[in-house]
Each structure stands twice: as structure tokens, then as C-alpha cells.
Amino acid sequence: MKKINIILLGLMLVVSACSTDLDQSPSNIASPESLTDFDGVLNAAYNYQTGSATPIAVMGDFRADNTQFDESPHNSFATFNGDVSTMEGNFFQPFYAALYKSILSTNIVIENSSNARHIGEAKFLRGLAYFKLVKVFGDVTLNLSSAPSTEDTSILKRQPVADVYGQIISDLTDAKSALDNSGLSSGRASAIAAQGLLGKVYMQMGDFMNAESNLAAVVNGAGAAGLGLEPNFADIFGSGTDLNTEVIFATQISGSIAISDYSGTTFPLWSNGGDTKSDEDPITADLVNAFDAAGDTTRKNATIDLSGPSRIAVKFGSAGAEQDFIELRLADVILLYAEALNENGNSSSAITQLNKIRSRANLANVTATAKATVRTAIANERRLELALEGHRWFDLVRTGAVNAEMGMTIDSNYHLFPIPTSEIFASNGVITQNPGY
């Protein structure tokens, strides 16, 4: 049951044909300043996030060593040169456009609403949107206005990663203070989701001290918030499992609402053989071997199916276009917390956290405490626990493990993805392309 009511009027207020995805205020529709009820605009911000789910899931796993395309030109994801830019219309432009539309909606709420909870939710969603954008593209346009100038194109200039992260941290910190945890049961932003995402952001930045404190607060406060690891790994996913006790925040999907490029998203289809571009063996032999090397039959059987002629995913069951996209779940946070503890010199406590996840997977406890050994164990665990959820590539990049895990030397230019050329052209070159593309 979808708890967030998508109000189409809210979308009408922020969508129009435009020169860039920042210019979306048609003159014949009410201005943000004239609104008194921002529920619709806030719900629009939530819904626009759905357009990012399929692209980031594909980027996170098909760019890495978990899944693969078998049809040209999609198999350029594995070539690590400029060829992947031919996928702009499939992934990068819909992703970019959806998130900037979500950001514009949040800006309207933040600037004009007097409802503190609305503003807190909007700041959470803006922080989430910019976190996805900066991981995928690096430097990006930083728009904090509900009505960006259509004449001053300098506002479109891409801002340094450090500045974008600074804004993300500010937004999530504000959201954490403004919200409580009542939103968990309805799929809305919550204080614990903001703190968990903040910890994940610090991990992406390599700031392990700030990451540890925020992640510890989530792990230690999970029970009081009604969160916990699902006893059965397979119960986290699939039809009828949305908003289970492990999910801290998910972008809710409804196949009946198609108002952005990937609303009613198809991200499960790309890995389960339901799309012709990856229909033969979307799951790599490398991922199968990783499960086997770990002796992990519990998660292997709940993740992939080898019974037919192809290696396909079964992780998301038959939910299809109704499968919510999990942005953050407790197991992810626990493993990040273990990683932060280990990097901060507390390997003993790190393996205590790691073994919580291994225990559910019916695996033996890790007992080694050497920092490098624990680091490897956590990285391996994240791959198996979070396979096909859009994390793998971004984990490899942030930990500096791309070359080792991919088995080749990859130019760091291709750790990022190409800025949509449509945005570059629409900005008259103010928005620039990433090197290598």
C-alpha cells in the first residue's frame, strides 16, 4: 500500500517545457509565493525521486562486476571509455532531470512554507538528490532557489564537489533536527533517515570520525524507532514487503503513476532478464563465484536463480514496477558503521557489527581483528548483502578498489558518468562536460 498520495496539481506547478531543468516556472501558472498549501509540491518532490531509481541502480551494478549487458550499445558500460555517453537518453538525462525537478520542488517548499515538518522533509529530499548527483557526476550545478534566473546563466555553472557536499551536510543536519521518526511508518523522511544518510555521506567523503558518530546513533537508536534487521533476508524485498522494519527510507514506486521518465520504475527488470539488453546472463559469473567462495547459500538463493539457461536475479520477486527503491536500510548502515569503526582503529567493535549481518546469512563469525583483513571482510560482505541494489560501483570508487576488483586499470575519469549533452547545449556551454567524455 502506497502511503504517499501523489498530487498531480503539485507537479503541474513545477513542470513545463524549459531550456534547462532549472527553468521550470511557466508564467501562466501560479507563482510559489502565491501558494498556501505545499503538500502537493512536497509530494511532487518525493515522486520525482522515482525517476532516479532505475538509472542509479543500473549505474551502481552494471558499471561494476555484479551485472552485465549483452546488447550493443549498452555493453559500453564495460568498456570504460567515452562510449557510455551514448546511453544519455536511457540513463543519465532522465536521472539528471528527475533529480533537479525534485530539487526545484523542495526549494519552493523551503522558501515559502511555514510548516517546519514540510521544510525538514524537503531538506532531506534535497540532500538526497544532491548526494546522488554528486556521486554520479562529481561537480554539479547547485541551485537553492525556487525561481532561478532565466537570464543569469552563471547560476548553472558546476560547483566543486566539496561545496556540494557542504550543502548536503547542511540540509541533512537541518532535516535531522526538524523531523521525528513518525514518518517511518508512512514512507516519509524521518530524523533517523536523515542521520543515517548523513553518516553515509560522510563515508563517501572519507570522513570516518563524523561517519562513525552518526552511524552509531542510528544503529543504537534503531530499536526505539521500530527498526530492526528482518530475520529472513528474502523478506526484505519483493511484493508486499515495502516499508518493512529494515527499511529506513525508500523511494516509493507505483506502476500506475507515470509522470516522469522512470516512474513505475523498471530497475528490477534489468537484472532479472526482463529486458532484451540484458536477457541472457545479466548476472556475472564473478558475482556467482563471490557467493560460492563465501559459502553464502542463503543470500545467493534469495538473490539469483541459476536453474534455467540464464543467470538472472530473483531478489525483487514479482514486484516489478511496484518494487520500492530502497535508498537506505539498516544492514547498509550497520556495515558502514563497521567500516567506520575499523578505519578509526576499533576493529574488535567492527567485527561485532559485521557479524550481525553474517549471522542472518547463516555464515560463521569473523574472528580476525587485523585492520586490513577486517576491511576486506566488510567490503566482501557489502557486495553480497547489497547486490543489485545500486551500491557496488560507488563502493568501489569511494574505497579506491576499482582496479583491483574490476581486474583492469581504469582511468579515473570513468569513475564518474557523463553530464547529459542536452544540458550542456541548453546552457550554451556554461555547464561543462566531465573529462573523458
Please enumerate, as own/partner, the contacts of 272-275 that have beta carbons within 8 Å and a separation of 24 or more: 272/312, 272/313, 272/314, 272/316, 273/310, 273/312, 273/313, 274/320
pLDDT at residue 265 in the model: 56
Q: Is residue 93 predicted with pLDDT exceeding 80?
A: yes
**Dist. CA 308–CA 306, nearest whole Å:** 6
pLDDT at residue 263 in the model: 47
Q: Output the furthest CA–CA distance in the chain (Å, rounded).
A: 66
Q: Is residue 27 predicted with pLDDT exceeding 60?
A: no
Contacts of 27 (CB under 8 A, 6+ apart): none
pLDDT confidence bin for 242, thresholds 50/70/90: confident
Query: What would the mean pLDDT of 4-21 be, rounded to a whole number?
Result: 35
pLDDT confidence bin for 317, thresholds 50/70/90: confident
Contact between residue 41 and residue 109 where contact means Cβ atoms under 8 Å apart: yes
Contact between residue 159 and residue 210 where contact means Cβ atoms under 8 Å apart: no
CB atoms inside a 10 Å sphere around CB 99: 27
pLDDT at residue 26 in the model: 35
DSSP string, 347-404: HHHHHHHHHHHHHHTT-PPP----HHHHHHHHHHHHHHHSTTTT-HHHHHHHHT-HHH
For residue 388, the one-letter residue type is: L
Residue 247 backbone dihedrals phi, psi, to 5 degrees: -80, 120
Least confident of 19-28, 268-277, 315-324, 368-377: 19-28
Q: What is the mean pLDDT of the chain?
A: 89
Least confident of 94-108, 144-158, 406-420: 144-158
pLDDT at residue 25 in the model: 37
Query: What would the mean pLDDT of 338-356 be, rounded to a whole number?
Result: 98
Work out whether strand 140-141 and strand 158-159 pair parallel, antiparallel, or are unpaired: antiparallel
Q: Which residue has the higher pLDDT, 204 or 320?
A: 204
Helix axes 330-343, 347-360, angle to 10 degrees: 160
Q: Is residue 179 predicted with pLDDT exceeding 90?
A: yes
pLDDT at residue 387 in the model: 98
Structural domains of the chain, with CATH: 8-409 (1.25.40.390)
The cell 511484493 sits on which residue? Answer: 239
Contacts of 145 (CB under 8 A, 6+ apart): 107, 111, 155
Give residue-wise pLDDT tens across range 110-139: 999 999 999 999 999 999 999 999 999 999
Contacts of 352 (CB under 8 A, 6+ apart): none
Query: What would the mean pLDDT of 369-381 be, rounded to a whole number?
Result: 98
Q: Which residue has the higher pLDDT, 361 or 269?
A: 361
**Dist. CA 175–CA 171, nearest whole Å:** 6
Give residue-wise pLDDT tens across range 191-205: 999 999 999 999 999
